[in-house]
């Protein structure tokens, strides 16, 4: 695996970085969609995530890398291990960031019969697919808008249920697959189906920095990285380490953060004013605001948090008006300014 560009060395793109950090703190936010022009560092940021995330505890011998503290009944492999009577061991594994290549076949995504064992030993065994590998981690789909329809259906289903059910080739397997869906793409190349759009918790739009100094800095850093990956990553290590600690602390804190009723009410008002469909908007707004508060060391969610996460949490949930020139992001910001006066 080649070295990833350091997360903290990415110039600008604050909204994207914030959304990714929020998803890292609270995976229940429901994934991040990054839409924007080419050459704006979309894939760079997501791949940088891999290097950034702290390692997690996993049960030894479970192919789905389950949390040893997970309740019984969630994973057949863990249950079998525990039923064996021996003490279950655990080890630290890096948080998986799994790439879903566009051309992947369904059997590789959901898992399939283990060919090797079927041919050599004549045993029907299940070989986990990409969804299993992404459990407790991130599933990254580049050019998500070009993904084939049947794969999109599948992702939607699994992302919603947190469980992958395989009924094929005479196999009948179910295993946990709770992952954060991270998609990136260029809306010019095709639009996302509304169902999939809704599945993403946060949606950010990225564009090229307009300030010349920023652009120069982008090119300089990228060039320095490409000429000496090791040295460059080393120089940014301390900075990345700080971000990592921030994530860890925020994860510890996020459950204890208070969301006052007044803030909840404001969130609801905001969603009503924007006319978002369903309650997913409010939920995401609340969770994202809480994660942001945790990241910033606050104990109570306030308007400042709400205001900053509202565009990411809501912009992809608005009914689209095909003839409206203004982006949906601008509409959200307008309503936010009305509803939450600073």
Partner 1 sequence: MAVADPIAPAAAPPADDLSAVDPVVLRWADALRAAALLAVDPWGFGGVALKAGHGPVRERWLTVLRALVPPESPWRRIPIHAGDERLLGGLDLTATLAAGRPVAQSGLLAEADGGLLLLAMAERVPGTTASRLCAALDTGECTLARDGLASSRPARFGVVALDEGVGDDPPPAGALLERLAFRIDLAEVPVGVADVFGAPSDEGAGPGADAAAVAAARLRIGAVQADDATVQALCATAAALGVSSARAPLMALRAARAAAALDGRDRVSPDDVSLAARLVLAPRATQWPAPPDATPPEPPPPEEPPESKADEPPPADSEDDAEPEPQQPLDEVVLDAAKAAIPPGLLASLMLAANAAAGSGAGRAGVMRATRLRGRPAGTRPGTPRDGARLALVDTLRAAAPWQPLRRREAEQARAAQAAHEPVPPRTASAARAAAAAASAASATASAAASGATAAAATPTAPPRLALRASDLRVARLRERTETTTIFAIDASGSSALHRLAEAKGAVELLLADCYVRRDRVAVIAFRGRAAEVLLPPTRSLVRAKRSLAGLPGGGGTPLASGIDAVAGLADGVARRGGSPVLVFLTDGRANVARDGSGGRARADQDARDAARRLRVAGHATLLLDTSPQPAASARTLAADMAAAYVPLPRADAASIAAPVRAATGLGARRPPGRAR
**144 secondary structure, DSSP code:** G
Write down the least CB distance from residue 154 to partner 1, Å.
Answer: 13
Is residue 258 exposed (0-12), middle (13-18) or buried (19+ Cβ within 10 Å)?
exposed
Write down the least CB distance from residue 4 to partner 1, Å.
Answer: 10
For partner 1, the closer of residues 167 and 296 by Cβ is 167
Contact status, residue 132 vs residue 62, Cβ threshold 8 Å = no
For partner 1, the closer of residues 186 and 233 by Cβ is 186
Q: Please state, in angstroms and rounded to a whole number, the distance separating the CA atoms of residues 22 and 25.
A: 5
What are 168-174's contacts with CB under 8 Å, separation 24+?
Answer: 168/107, 168/110, 168/112, 169/112, 169/113, 170/113, 170/124, 171/112, 171/113, 171/124, 171/126, 173/76, 173/111, 173/126, 174/76
For partner 1, the closer of residues 57 and 222 by Cβ is 222
Write down the least CB distance from residue 316 to partner 1, Å.
Answer: 17
Write down the least CB distance from residue 222 to partner 1, Å.
Answer: 6
Query: What is the token pair recorded at 56?
Result: 């997690």
Contact status, residue 158 vs residue 131, Cβ threshold 8 Å = yes
Query: If DSSP codes are grouped into helix, strand and coil, which group holds residue 32?
Result: strand
Query: If DSSP codes are grouped into helix, strand and coil, which group holds residue 64?
Result: coil
Question: Which residues are the active-site residues?
Answer: 280
Write down the least CB distance from residue 166 to partner 1, Å.
Answer: 13
Q: Please state, in angstroms and rounded to a whole number, the distance separating the CA atoms of residues 59 and 61.
A: 6
Write down the least CB distance from residue 35 to partner 1, Å.
Answer: 13
For partner 1, the closer of residues 184 and 203 by Cβ is 184
Write down the least CB distance from residue 327 to partner 1, Å.
Answer: 10
For partner 1, the closer of residues 4 and 270 by Cβ is 4
- DSSP letter for each residue of 203-214: EEEE----SHHH
Which residues lie near partner 1 (CB under 8 A)? 2, 37-41, 43, 99, 101-105, 107-109, 112-113, 115-116, 118-120, 122, 124, 127, 130, 142-143, 145-146, 149-150, 168-170, 186, 188-191, 207-208, 212, 215-216, 218-220, 222-223, 227, 322-325
Q: Please state, in angstroms and rounded to a whole number, the distance separating the CA atoms of residues 178 and 157.
A: 11
For partner 1, the closer of residues 28 and 105 by Cβ is 105
Q: Please list the alpha-helical segments (H only) found in the chain.
A: 14-25, 42-52, 76-83, 106-110, 115-120, 130-133, 149-161, 194-199, 212-227, 229-235, 237-254, 261-274, 280-295, 303-314, 328-339
Q: Please state, in angstroms and rounded to a whole number, the distance separating the CA atoms of residues 31 and 141.
A: 11
Nearest to 187 by CA among 205, 213, 160: 205
What residues contact residue 28 under an 8 Å CB cut-off, 6+ apart? 287
């Amino acid at each position: 695996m080649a070295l990833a560009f350091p997360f903290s060395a990415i110039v600008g793109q604050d909204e994207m970085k914030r959304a990714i950090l929020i998803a890292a703190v609270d995976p229940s936010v429901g994934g991040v969609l990054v839409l924007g022009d080419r050459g704006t560092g979309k894939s760079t940021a997501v791949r940088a995530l891999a290097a950034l995330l702290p390692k997690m505890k996993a049960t030894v011998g479970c192919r789905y890398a389950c949390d040893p503290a997970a309740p019984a009944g969630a994973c057949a492999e863990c249950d079998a291990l525990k039923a064996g009577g021996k003490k279950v061991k655990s080890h630290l594994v890096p948080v998986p960031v799994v790439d879903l290549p566009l051309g992947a076949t369904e059997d590789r995504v959901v898992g399939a019969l283990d060919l090797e064992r079927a041919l050599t030993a004549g045993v029907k065994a299940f070989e986990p697919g990409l969804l299993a590998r992404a459990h407790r981690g991130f599933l990254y789909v580049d050019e998500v808008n070009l993904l084939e329809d049947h794969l999109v259906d599948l992702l939607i289903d699994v992302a919603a249920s947190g469980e992958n059910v395989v009924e094929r080739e005479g196999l009948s397997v179910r295993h946990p697959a709770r992952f954060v869906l991270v998609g990136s793409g260029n809306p010019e190349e095709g639009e996302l189906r509304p169902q999939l759009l809704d599945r993403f918790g946060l949606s950010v739009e990225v564009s090229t920095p307009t300030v010349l100094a920023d652009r120069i800095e982008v090119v300089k850093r990228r060039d320095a990285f490409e000429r000496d990956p090791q040295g460059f990553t080393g120089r940014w290590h301390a900075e990345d380490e700080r971000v990592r600690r921030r994530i860890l602390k925020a994860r510890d804190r996020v459950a204890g953060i208070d969301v006052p009723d007044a803030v909840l009410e404001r969130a609801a008002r905001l969603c009503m004013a924007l006319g978002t469909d369903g309650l997913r908007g409010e939920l995401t707004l609340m969770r994202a605001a809480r994660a942001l508060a945790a990241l910033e060391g606050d104990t109570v969610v306030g308007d400042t948090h709400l205001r900053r996460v509202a565009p990411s949490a809501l912009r992809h949930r608005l009914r689209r008006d095909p003839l409206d020139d203004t982006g949906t992001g601008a509409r959200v910001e307008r309503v936010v300014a009305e509803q939450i006066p600073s």
